[in-house]
């Protein structure tokens, strides 16, 4: 897949790169897309992920959140 950015979009990416919070354009795009997925896509397997993590003695809540985010992203990856 390829995309064409407008000059305004390129400028937004450049500003974000100049903050030093991103190492490259790919990181900017991935972060933006993850935010869109989190905002607009429901999580299908919330219960499943939470039950598995809670069943473990040492629950890492950050890992639970990351798993939920990954599940949202994985909904868009064809099997």
Q: Are residues 47 and 78 in the same domain?
A: yes
Check if the beta carbon of residue 21 is closer than 8 Å to that of residue 30: no
The more confident residue out of 30 and 65 is 30
Look at residue 58 in the predicted model and tell me its pLDDT. Answer: 62
Stated pTM of the model: 0.53
Q: Are residues 48 and 36 in the same domain?
A: no
Q: Are residues 27 and 2 in the same domain?
A: yes
Q: CB 48: neighbour CB atoms within 10 A?
A: 12
Q: What confidence tens digit (pLDDT) does each residue in 3-54 have?
A: 899 999 999 999 999 999 999 999 999 889 877 776 765 555 455 545 555 5
Structural domain range at position 17: 1-40
In whole angstroms, what separates CA 78 from the centre of its chain? 17
Q: Are residues 35 and 52 in the same domain?
A: no
Q: Are residues 52 and 36 in the same domain?
A: no
Check if the beta carbon of residue 72 is closer than 8 Å to that of residue 38: yes
Final residue belonging to a domain, choices 25, 40, 55: 40
Q: CB 43: neighbour CB atoms within 10 A?
A: 16
Q: Are residues 29 and 4 in the same domain?
A: yes
């Amino acid at each position: 897949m390829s995309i064409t950015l407008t000059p305004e979009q390129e400028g937004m990416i450049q500003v974000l790169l100049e903050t030093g919070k991103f190492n490259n354009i790919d990181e900017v795009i991935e972060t933006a897309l993850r935010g869109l997925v989190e905002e607009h896509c429901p999580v299908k397997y919330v219960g499943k992920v939470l039950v598995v993590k809670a069943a473990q003695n040492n629950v890492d809540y950050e890992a639970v959140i990351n798993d939920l985010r990954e599940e949202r992203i994985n909904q868009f990856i064809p099997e």
